[in-house]
Amino acid sequence: MPCPLPGMDPYLESDKLWPAFQHQLVSSLYQILLPGLVDRYRARLGQRSYVTEQPLFTSIIREQHTEDFIEVRQRADNRLVTLIDMVSPINKARSQGRAAYLESRKQARAQNASVVEIDLVLHGQPMLDYSREGLPAWDYAITVTRSTQPERYEIYTTTLQKRLPRFKIPLAADDRDTVLDLQATFARCYDQANFSTQIDYQNDPALKLKEDDLKWLGEVLRLQKLR
């Protein structure tokens, strides 16, 4: 069963489902991206691992986290060309998660690589700090930072009620960008992982939504007879 929503599904932003969703979406991105890179580039899946600590009464809860990302490298010399990374709720909410994510970005920039950041997390502190003046309101964003213009951002945005955008993935400076349809990738991810059987659409999502978004969500699900 396909996702009942036109874009991102907020039910996936739960402690239980997010790790599997992030892993599956990055894997789907890799599967779609790989065929177009075979001549000059190669893509590889990488992982970062870190531990978060959270005090609980007189003890400390330690949790291990693993997050996938994609590296696009020159086939000839193995030089890192582009890092494609996905923000997790832990990255935006916990200091250890934020530090681990930012370290991946720092290492990519130190190698003069472009960085693509996919942020499908509604809540938490953004990983990039830039002015939203003159830009429309959004819930989700894909931000591209090119190695040739590291001080500028290309921002592809959407809201909960709309489809996910298409965006450009920069390659070498003398090569054309690759265009990726995030909504099509999301649909592939959702189907492959069979998330429809893991989500209870009878109840509201665990995370807090704006009142108009919650009303819209209920209407969409009722129209599809999932409530």
Any domain includes 74: yes
How high is the pLDDT of residue 60?
A: 83
pTM: 0.95
- Provide the domain limits for residue 105: 10-223
Q: What is the pLDDT of residue 40?
A: 93
Mapped to the 3 state alphabet, what secondary structure does 157-222 carry? EECCCCCCCEEEECCCCCCCCEEEEHHHHHHHHHHHCCHHHCCCCCCCCCCCCCHHHHHHHHHHHH
Instruction: Tell me if 68 is assigned to some domain.
Output: yes
User: Is residue 46 assigned to a domain?
Assistant: yes
- Is 83 in contact with 104 (CB distance < 8 Å)? yes
Residues β-bridged to residue 165: none
Amino acid in position 20: A
pLDDT of residue 141: 96
* pLDDT score at 67: 98
* Domain annotation covers residue 3: no
Residue 118 φ/ψ, nearest 5 degrees: -105, 115
148's CB contacts (< 8 A; 6+ apart) are: 173
2 within domain boundaries = no
| Domain assignment of residue 196, yes or no | yes
Q: How many domains does the chain have?
A: 1
Domain for residue 31, yes or no?
yes
Which of 55, 75, 32 shows the shortest CA–CA distance to 178? 32
pLDDT score for 8:
98
Query: Following DSSP, what letter does each residue of 92-122 receive, concatenated?
Result: HH-HHHHHHHHHHHHHHHHTT-EEEEEE---
Pair 24, 32: CB distance under 8 Å: no
pLDDT at 132: 78
pLDDT by residue, tens only, the chain of 227 residues: 899 999 999 999 999 999 999 999 999 999 999 998 878 999 999 999 999 988 877 778 889 999 999 999 999 999 999 999 999 999 999 999 999 999 999 999 999 999 999 999 999 999 988 777 777 889 999 999 999 998 899 999 999 999 999 999 999 999 999 999 999 999 999 999 999 999 999 999 989 999 999 999 999 999 988 87
